[in-house]
Structure 1
Amino acid sequence: MQVLDNLITETARAISFLSRLPVPNRFFASYDGSLRRTVAAFPLAGLVIALPAALILGLLSVAGVEPVLVALVTISLQIVLTGALHEDGLSDTADGLGGGRSREKALAIMKDSRIGTYGALALILGVALRVASLAIVVEALPGWAAALALLATATFSRALLVWHWSSLPPARTDGVAAAAGTPDPDAVRTALVLGTVLAAVLGLLALPFHGWFAAGLIAAATVSAFTRHVEKRLGGHTGDTIGASQQLCEIAFLLTLAIAI
C-alpha cells in the first residue's frame, strides 16, 4: 500500500512539473522540489498528460474528421497541456547548438529567452513532422489504435528523457536541471522499465510488431545519438536538452511508425 501511495504521489508531482494540469496541494506537503525520485513516475505522468489528446484523437477519428485535422488538433492540445515545455527546450537547444561555436557561447544562447533562426526552424519542422506523421498513422489505423499509439509515444519519450538526464552531468551549476537534483539510479531504472513496458503493452495492442519495434528502436537510437552530441558540445545536459530529447524521441517514433505501417 505504501508503494502505491508513493507512486501516486510521485506521479502527481511529475504531472505538475511536466504539464499545466492542476494537481492538489496535498501532494506537495513537505516537498523540497527535488525530482531525484520523482523521475521514476515520468512515464506514467506522460501517459496521464497525453490521455486528453488521445481521447480527442479517437473521438475525431470515429466522427470521420480528416486525418490531417485530427493530427493538428491532437498535437495542438498536447502543446497546450504541457505549456510547450518540451518544445521550448527543443527550440533553445537548436539555437545554442546551431549558433554557438564554443561551449560557453552555446550555453549563453540557450539561456537567452529570445528565439533565433535555428530555434524557429526546429519548432516549425518539429511540429510539422509530428502532425504529418500522426496524420498518416490516423489514416492507416482505427481511431482507438492510433490513440494507443500516441499514448505509447508519450510514455516512451518520457522514459528516454530520464535516460538522457541521468546519462550526463549538469552542463552548468545554476540551471533548472541542476537545481532539480541528479536522478536517483533506482528511480532511473524504474522509469526505463515502466516506460518501456507501458509503451510495449500499448504499442502491441494497437500496432503491428514490426512497426512498434522499428519505431522504438529508431527513437532510442535518435536520443542516444543526440545525447552523445550534447556531451561532446556542452559536456553535460541542461533543462533545454532534456526537453529536446523528449521531442526528438516523439518525432522519431511517430515518423518511423508512419513509414513502417
Structure 2
Amino acid sequence: MARALRHFLLAIQFFSRIPVTGKLADWVGFSPAMLRASAAHFPGVGVVVGGLVAGFTALLLAVLPHSAFAPLVAAVLGTVLSVLVTGAFHEDGLADVADGLGGSSDRDRALVIMKDSRVGAFGVLAVVLALLAKVALLAIIGSVSPRWMVLGLFAAHVVSRTWPLLLIRLMAHVGDAAGSKSKPLADQISVAGLLVGGLWCFGALALVAATQATMISGAFAVPTLAGLRPLMAGVLASALAWAYMGRLLWRRLQGFTGDGLGATQQVCEIAFYLGLALAL
C-alpha cells in the first residue's frame, strides 16, 4: 500500500501542479522505474483534478445568480481551474501534435516539429478550438442538467486519462526518447498497471452512477439503465475518440509520444462531453 501511495503521489507530482514537495516529496522518492509505474495512476490524477473542478463548478452553480448564462460562466471558470491545476500539461501536448502533424506529412519532420517548444498556427488553433469546444459543450450540458454538468466533469477527467494507458500498452514509444519527458513510459505498461488504471476508472464511474441515482430518488438507490444512458454515451464517445487518435498516431508516427498521450486525453475529454450532451 505504501508503494502504491508513492506511485500515486508521483503521478500527481508529474501530471499536475498540485504541490508534492518537502518531506512528502522526499518520502515519495523518484526513479525512472517509479515514474513508469506511476502511469497506472493516471486515472487517479483524473479523480483528483476532476473532483476539484467538479466541486468548484457545483459551488459556482450554487452561488451564481439564476440565469441562462450561469452554466456558461461556470464552464469558463471551471475550465480555467483545470488548466491551472494541470499547468496546461495536456493542452501543450495537443498543440505540439497539431503543429507536428499539421506542419509536415513526413514522419521524421513531424517528430522534429513536435519537439520544438515554440507553438505554431496549427497548435494555437487546436488549443483555442479545444477550449471553445469544452466550454460550449459544458454550457449546453449545464443548461439542460446542472447535475450532469458536475458529474460529467468528474467522469470525463477520469475516463479521458484512462484511454492513454491503452496506447502505451499497444504502441511503441517513438521520437527522441533520450530527451523526452515521457521516456520512462517508453516501455509497455504491464497488465497489472492496466488493472490498476481500470480500477480507478471503474470506481469513479460507479461513484458517478450511484450519485446520480441517489440524487434522483433522494435516498440510496440502484442505478437504472435509463439513468446511466448519458454516462454510457460519454464513455462510448470517448472510446471512439481514442480509436481515432490511436489510428492517427499509428498511421502518421507508427507509435506514441508524450505529446500524443496528452492530445489523446484532450480529444477524449471533449468527446465525452459531446456524447453526454447528445444523450441529454
**TM superposition score normalised by structure 1:** 0.91
Percent identity between the aligned chains? 33
RMSD: 1.8
Distance 2:11 2:186 in 1: 14
Describe the SS at the equivalent of 1:36: helix
Verify: 1:99 aligned to 2:103, yes or no. yes
**Residue matched to 1:259:** 278
Distance 1:98 1:90 in 2: 12
Distance 1:234 1:132 in 2: 31
Q: Deviations over 1:22-61 (max 9, x none)?
A: 11214433x2143221122111121112222211100111
Pick one of 96, 108, 115 that aligns with 2:112. Answer: 108
CA deviation after TM superposition for structure 1 residue 89, in Å: 0.3
Q: Superposed, which structure 2 residues align to 1:74-223 within 5 Å?
A: 74-143=78-147, 145-172=148-175, 173-174=177-178, 175-182=180-187, 183-203=189-209, 205-206=211-212, 208-223=227-242
Q: Is the 8 A contact 1:68 1:135 kept in 2?
A: yes
CA deviation after TM superposition for structure 1 residue 120, in Å: 1.0
Q: Superposed, which structure 2 residues align to 1:62-73 within 5 Å?
A: 62-65=62-65, 66-73=70-77
Describe the SS at the equivalent of 1:158: coil
Unpaired segments ≥5 residues, structure 2: 214-226
CA deviation after TM superposition for structure 1 residue 200, in Å: 4.1
Moved more, 248-257 or 32-41: 32-41
Q: Is the 8 A contact 1:204 1:212 kept in 2?
A: no
**Residue matched to 2:217:** none
Unpaired segments ≥5 residues, structure 1: none
Describe the SS at the equivalent of 2:31: coil
**Residue matched to 2:224:** none
- List structure 1 segments (4+ residues) > 6 angstroms apart after TM superposition: none
**TM superposition score normalised by structure 2:** 0.85
Verify: 1:233 aligned to 2:252, yes or no. yes
Describe the SS at the equivalent of 1:176: coil
CA deviation after TM superposition for structure 1 residue 203, in Å: 4.4
